[in-house]
Chains A and B, each alone.
Chain A
């Protein structure tokens, strides 16, 4: 009954509908998105298990032999359990913490580096993802699709790396300047599509996608041009950023943990995004525009200004993510920076959707995606199951989140998702 409110005869539309039940139903509703995400996560892991089963030779062999002996079926089940279990265990160990290492560290006080590395890696990967996804989420909440986050991140990385490597000032000036320039680079990359959308009506999806390619080409051009190219290099590698422009590891370089001050930048970005969307007047305009453009216009909100500002802010956050990525890990960029399947700008679209475009949700979704990626790499190392399994699980989760009807059917949740299903679900629903 979740969507009964779309029915013209729904309780809410009747002036004297009993208030209490309507209120209760609404509460159930508001909880369900979180539950759906949780169920989607479980289903994603189930799909991943099915992929492991059908692609691992040892498991397939054991199933082939179930009729050879009376105990074949039990052996097959055990082999399946062992393989799936080993895969997910190594994923968990690689992304969160290895219980054995943890025990060792606690009892002996030694090896904390190895124990904390998985968590540190996950946080390191999550940091730029959170920042980009916030930008994409803000655009989504305004009803605009920013598919150009990746290009904006690249341009942010380039401008940040230029300032970081070619301007030489003390850290107190240099680091903020570098980050600001990264933001400005991304904002510039967002400004152009925003401007085109606002004044010519060009579709932002097309323009931002195409703009990605322009920026990729510019990236290659910049790292091959004399001022920015690493001196004495023929390859597409840039100068290295000054130490004063870098985001250093939180626990010092000696700790061996890569988790860095980028996480502080991300936390500030989350705080900003929350204030912006939930508390600021401009964010209110943005949300009104996203939820009902006609009402926004009638209320005196200037759509052109909103569109341009959305792309500036969204692009700026992506650019910030780009410069955080450079300043915290490699400290230089090359011609392949953020391009291809590693493009966080594209992952950010899914992460924003998974986090329902809310800053809090985006943090959790980014951590989940980063953990799956980092854990997938560990799994590949220990079990030989390809990293792509992590992508399969990520995709499956998003697919299930996007089809709540399916999830509700699978888990036999009471809520009838659409009015049309009212009759079909009557047997156990109404």
Chain B
């Protein structure tokens, strides 16, 4: 299918999310759409999938103008979408999920499972998408669940597949497998629109790259372009992808956990005997696919989750099962994984959020009464120092972009006297410019001789920041390696293969 977008414009009020976007996807082409968060990628895809209606411009399929009233229209015209968050019923089988809503039926409206299964087997053989049609979806690893989504789109005769940030949840090996699938789909004549902000993947798989910024197409690139060329196209200025670190000279151990066991809300052991230590002047990066216990480990360290056994030592002091207040006062700086849930109060002002965990500290309050002038001055100073872009520090945090929201948290934590910084997925969902910024701040903190633990599922981030890299799998540390270790070695550790870890 040949898809052409001509002059697509979408406005929200006076704000233009998409500004005269032209884009052509040829049959059998993998077309990569690259852009920062907020650049208008998602809006464009929603327009293409019939979820939003363009104010101007037209969509042409094989040269014929089409109008989608809803996503059903788009599906009927051969457009399939694999969302970042899967739209699957966990307790249904693969077959049931694939045919859901479009079930082939026999007499009396009974679902024809035999035919449905046969269709799936045929499709998976044709496109190299091996998956057991009778397996229950919740038992499948994430990579296979994604295949089910792709199968679902293909079974609706999709000729153009939209993949929205498909690699965010995958291990490096699963990512490689997905890329192989994308290539085989393209070889079979399907068109693919691949939305991502990961430059490495774009270069590996795309035939054509279109970069959008501020709702406009700012250029297209060949996959041979270097990563920094792509990054500067996205951001509109030169970007440093590697962070300058001073020589590694670790000092005393600042932070230590021993044999930590932590359960999740359902009572399952998610952290199963983890031991780690972080020294002064060192960044310990904790890698691993999401859901292997990192979240629970971080919550336990921050005093937000009960520790079943084991000890947490911060500067030699036992802070196991202390309240978050005590842990913060002991010198922990915490950049939480879910910044909007744990890190910010969205309805409150930037200034209030900058003193969220120090409202009683001088000069922000005196004898129980807040000094709003001091809070305001502090915010103005931090907004300047940490480059927080806002029209006023009295604006609610919700009016800031994701990158600037994260800068608020980073500014708040790094402006306190700290012993130890713990950052969980510190750059998730951020644009390249903000990632660069956050990384530089973390490295500065380390260069000044402080300790940091960075939990991340982004391999690039782990490799860029870590002085040592611990890999977590299924509640355990499956290995600790040097940052010089190969991606493959770390990938294997992330998949739980401990044997390869011992270098």
Residues of A within 8 A of B (CB): 1, 4-5, 7-19, 21-23, 25-26, 275, 279-282, 284-285, 287-288, 291-292, 294-302, 422-423, 430
By the criterion CB–CB under 8 Å, are A292 and B341 in contact? yes
Residue B402 CB within 8 A of the other chain: yes
Contact yes or no, A9 B356, CB < 8 A: no
Q: Is the CB of A18 within 8 A of B345?
A: no
C-alpha spacing A22/B396, complex, angstroms: 13
Known contacts A18-B14, A22-B399, A292-B345, A285 near B304 by CB under 8 Å? no
Q: Tally of A-B residue pairs with Cβ under 8 A?
A: 131
Residue B38 contacts which of A15, A279, A299 (CB distance < 8 angstroms)? A15
- Residues B324 and A13 in contact, CB atoms below 8 Å apart: no
Nearest CB of chain B from residue A22's CB, rounded to whole Å? 7
Q: Are B359 and A9 in contact (CB under 8 A)?
A: no
A275 touches B356 (CB 8 A): no
B316 on the interface (CB 8 Å rule)? no
A298 to B341 alpha-carbon distance, docked (Å) = 9
Q: List 5 A-B contacts (CB under 8 A).
A: A14-B215, A15-B38, A15-B431, A19-B391, A281-B369
Return chain B residues, CB-CB under 8 Å to A19: 391
List the B residue with the shortest CB-CB distance to A296: B345
Q: Does residue B346 face the partner (Cβ distance < 8 Å to A)?
A: yes
- Please name the residue on chain B nearest to A283 by beta carbon: B370
Check if B43 sits within 8 Å of A1, measured CB to CB. no
Point out the residues of chain B lying under 8 angstroms from A291, CB to CB.
Answer: 345-348
Instruction: Give the CA-CA distance A302 to B326 in the complex, in Å.
Output: 11
Least distance between B210 CB and chain A CB atoms (Å): 18
- B324 x A5 contact (CB < 8 A): no
CA distance A242 to B256 in the complex (A): 67
Q: What 5 A-B pairs come out closest when comparing CB atoms?
A: A300-B325, A11-B15, A299-B357, A14-B38, A21-B14
Residue of A nearest to B17 (CB): A9
B contacts, CB < 8 Å to A: 11-15, 17, 36-40, 42-43, 46, 53, 214-215, 302, 304, 323-329, 334, 336, 338, 341-348, 352, 356-357, 359-360, 365, 368-370, 372, 389, 391, 395, 398-404, 431, 433
Do A275 and B344 touch (CB < 8 A)? Answer: no
- Whether the pair B389, A5 counts as a contact (CB closer than 8 A) is no
Given contacts A23-B391, A298-B343, is CB(A284)–CB(B370) below 8 Å?
yes
Rounded to whole angstroms, the CA-CA distance of A11 and B368 in the bound complex is: 38
* With A9-B17, A26-B399, A302-B323: A295-B356 Cβ-Cβ less than 8 Å: yes
| A21 & B344 in contact (Cβ 8 Å cutoff) | no
In whole angstroms, how far apart are the Cα atoms of A302 and B341 in the complex? 17
B404: chain A residues within 8 A (beta carbon): 15
Q: Which of A15, A17, A298, A302 has a CB less than 8 Å from the CB of B304?
A: A298
Q: With the chains together, A168 CA to B242 CA distance in Å?
A: 80
Q: Is the CB of B42 within 8 A of A8?
A: yes
In whole angstroms, how far apart are the Cα atoms of A18 and B14 in the complex?
Answer: 9
How far is A296 from B53 in the complex, measured between Cα atoms in Å?
A: 40
Whether A10 pairs with B12 at a CB distance below 8 angstroms is: yes
CB distance B399 to A12 under 8 Å? Answer: yes
**List of B residues within 8 angstroms of A9 by Cβ:** 12, 17, 38, 40, 42-43, 46
Q: Smallest CB–CB gap between A102 and chain B, Å?
A: 43
Give bound CA distance, A50 to B355, whole Å: 52
Residue of A nearest to B13 (CB): A1
- When chains A and B are docked, how far (Å) is the Cα of A210 from the Cα of B378? 46
Residues in B with CB closer than 8 Å to A12 are: 398-401
User: What CA separation (Å) do A153 and B470 show in the bound complex?
Assistant: 59
B274 to chain A, nearest CB (A): 21
Structural contact, B368 and A281, CB atoms closer than 8 A: yes
**Which chain B residue shows the least CB distance to A8?**
B42
Q: A298 touching B336 by the CB < 8 A rule? A: yes
Which A residue's beta carbon lies closest to that of B399?
A: A12
Which chain B residues lie closer than 8 Å to A17 at the CB level? 15
Shortest CB-to-CB span from B165 to chain A, Å, is 13
How far, in angstroms, from A13 to B429 measured CA to CA in the complex? 12
Q: B395 — nearest CB in chain A belongs to which residue? A: A26
Specify which chain B residues have a CB less than 8 angstroms from the CB of A22 in the assembled complex. 15, 391, 399
Contact A430 B13, beta carbon cutoff 8 Å: yes
With A9-B17, A13-B401, A279-B372 known, 9 other A-B pairs at CB within 8 A are A11-B12, A11-B13, A12-B398, A12-B401, A15-B403, A26-B399, A275-B369, A288-B345, A300-B328
| Known A280-B368, A292-B346, A298-B302; contact A4-B324, beta-carbon cutoff 8 A | no
A300 to B325, CA, bound (A): 4
**Nearest-neighbor residue (CB-CB) of A15 within chain B:** B401
Cα A86 to Cα B248 in complex, Å, equals 87
A280–B345 Cα distance when bound, in Å, is 17
- Cβ contacts under 8 Å, A422 to chain B: 12
A residues in contact with B14, CB < 8 Å: 11, 18, 21, 25
Residue in contact with B53 in the complex, picked from A5, A301, A423, CB distance below 8 Å: A423
The answer to whether A300 and B13 have CB atoms under 8 Å apart is: no
Q: Collect the chain B residues with CB atoms within 8 Å of residue A14's CB.
A: 15, 17, 38-40, 214-215, 401
